[in-house]
Structure 1
Amino acid sequence: MAFEEAKIRFKGSISPVITPFEEDESIDFKLFKRLIDWHIESGSHGISVTGTSGEPSSLTIEERELVMETAMKTVDGRVPFLPGTGSVNHRETLRLTKAAQEMGADGAMVIVPYYNKPNQQALYNHFKTVAKSVDIPIILYNIPGRTAVNLEVDTIARLAEDCPNIIGIKESNKDFEHVNRVLLKCGRDFNLYSGIELLCYPMLAIGGAGHISATANVAPRQVAEIYNAWAEGDVTRAQHMHFAMMPLNDVLFRDTNPAPVKAALGMMGKIKPVLRKPMELPSKEIQQEIRETLMQYALVL
């Protein structure tokens, strides 16, 4: 796929699908396939797996490859497939990104390495090496709250200029000035995706390409509708959806993602609410708050 074509195709709500587990914490591939079908049938414009919501740090590298392969076969070209291939480990990131290309993924989303806190030159070298190792589109993933380091605007701009296949970035950055400057420095055709739920609509307003929202795991139709309304020029409907989704967005982040999301999906009968340690479900009090909120959206009875 030509990179300019990918910029056009990779728009809308790209759902970051969770990894469902059995009670023994093995991967439940049957439910995983069912979830992907549900997302696509609900109007999601793309599918991503093994990003933050997919608990990648709790999976072995072999499990990550198997999850990616299973997802790609299930998507079967119906929408763009952009697996998360980033890791704290540079060599693992190279291996997973190359695997994404070899299995036929439409692109790859690569997170800033977490825990290590590389400086900006080190981040530039890391991402450039990864991008140059493949011929598929790359979406950078900046989430300073989880990685402890911010991918600065100048570094993003250097990467966009030096690596033609780096076509966009998922910004889970609450600094709205930062994301504005990303488009200013990288060009308005650089694909900017919101990874912050309350910024999904605002980022569209400044020229964003869409969003990769954890909330889509619970309400894929509604999250996709925010983009659809905006794309159709119905600003009032987009604004309405933005505010209508705020209570659900808030409750799904009362604990660390994806714990509240998995609790919600368990209540909805979509999965067994199991996380791999060290992650655990939220407290009973938060779970009750989640259930009451899901009832308001008619997502549970």
Structure 2
Amino acid sequence: MKTLKGVIAATPTPLNADLSIDTDRLIGHCRWLLGDGGCDGINLLGTTGEATSFSVEQRIAAMRAVAQSGVPLQRMMVGTGASALADAVALTRAARELGFAGALLLPPFYYKGIDAESLANHVGEVIAKAGPFGLKIYLYHIPQNTGVPFVAEAIARLRERYADIVVGLKDSSGDIAFSRSLAVQFPGFDVFPSSEGSLTEWKSSRFAGCISATTNVTGALSQIAWSDPDSEKGRQAAASAMAIRGVLGGFPLMASVKAALAAMTGDGGWERLMPPLRRLSPAERAELFSRLGKTDFAAQHAPATAG
């Protein structure tokens, strides 16, 4: 049964001083997100989680630590995309064997101009080699990063061949019209836009929820918008969430989300990023919090800092 619905946070990956993954802090944050953080689910090791900056071994070790922590995996999808087929297979197999509710699969992103049939065949190879039993795949459409879109034709082929396995898509393109068109074209296929602004129209547009980096900060507000989208309270909550999102998005997003979490927790370690990404400069940080001071950011709860 598919259980991934609603407000899903694309969680950042906290780092130790030596740039290894701080699994204790990661597990603590996941627990907070699924509780007081207001989220229905988590996208672990995606773009916000800097996944492609880690080795396959690092990613699987983090997945295993989370799986062994007792965090409810039926509420978690995990990024398993990689440019190399064998790496995508290893990560997707690990997600299935560890019991995550879904694998979020990037397209093979080095070679561009891939046609729909070749893209569908790639996903098919991942499914065959990772093992289809119990596997649920969510396609990750983020063409501004990958240069390889999951076009409707490729999705149609995958749905024809693997309807019980390829069950949804995260649309991080920012093109809400594309999200709407997929939800209409493929009934039963779970489409997740990447912005809290979509939450007030999830019923009319048939969205399964949203998967967003900024719901690490706006989760409680976003949950109000998701749970009560037709009310004035829901619309106001969505507007407040989008105001915070707009500020965070005005800076390098991974750095700004981590800076916000550092401020919310009082834990400066949250600001570490894997090269080539960098933390905000002092001037950028000052400007970020000056702008956040004009939103409802200060009213957000502080997340946990340890496992």
Q: What is the deviation of 1:101? A: 1.0
Q: In the alignment, what sits opposite 1:22?
A: 16
Retained in 1: the 8 A contact 2:73–2:100?
A: no
Question: Greater relative contact order (Cα 8 A, min sep 6): structure 1 or 2?
Answer: 2
Cα 1:41–1:86 shift into 2, 3 Å: same
Q: What is the deviation of 1:35? A: 0.5
Match of 1:280 among 278, 281, 302: 278
Which has the higher mean CA deviation after the structures are superposed, 119-128 or 31-40?
119-128
Retained in 2: the 8 A contact 1:82–1:107?
A: yes
Gaps of 5+ in 2: 303-307
CA distance in 2 between counterparts of 1:57 and 1:216 reads: 21
Q: In the alignment, what sits opposite 1:153?
A: 152
Cα 1:300–1:294 shift into 2, 3 Å: farther
Q: In the alignment, what sits opposite 1:265?
A: 261
Query: What amino acid is the match of 2:260?
Result: A
Retained in 2: the 8 A contact 1:18–1:258?
A: yes
2:105 counterpart SS class = strand
CA distance in 2 between counterparts of 1:208 and 1:196 reads: 12
Q: Deviations over 1:194-217 (max 9, x none)?
A: 113443434553010111110112
TM-score (normalizing by structure 1) = 0.89
Cα 1:77–1:261 shift into 2, 3 Å: same
1:21-170 to 2 correspondence within 5 Å?
21-42=15-36, 43-77=38-72, 79-117=74-112, 118-132=114-128, 133-135=131-133, 136-164=135-163, 165-170=165-170
CA distance in 1 between counterparts of 2:74 and 2:101 reads: 9
Q: What is the deviation of 1:282? A: 2.8
CA distance in 1 between counterparts of 2:233 and 2:157 reads: 37
Gaps of 5+ in 1: none
1:223-234 to 2 correspondence within 5 Å?
223-230=222-229, 234=230
CA distance in 2 between counterparts of 1:275 and 1:250 reads: 21
How many equivalent residue pairs? Answer: 291
Retained in 1: the 8 A contact 2:78–2:100?
A: yes
Q: In the alignment, what sits opposite 1:179?
A: 179
Q: Percent identity?
A: 29
CA distance in 2 between counterparts of 1:49 and 1:258 reads: 14
1:13 counterpart SS class = strand
Q: Deviations over 1:91-140 (max 9, x none)?
A: 11111000111112122111223333233222111112223432211111
Question: In the alignment, does 2:190 pair up with 1:194?
Answer: no
Q: In the alignment, what sits opposite 2:305?
A: none
Cα 1:254–1:113 shift into 2, 3 Å: farther
CA distance in 1 between counterparts of 2:44 and 2:119 reads: 23
1:212 counterpart SS class = strand
Q: Deviations over 1:23-71 (max 9, x none)?
A: 2212212211111111111231112211111101111111100111122
Q: What is the deviation of 1:166? A: 0.8
Query: What amino acid is the match of 1:11?
Result: K
Deviating runs (4+, > 4 A) in structure 1? none
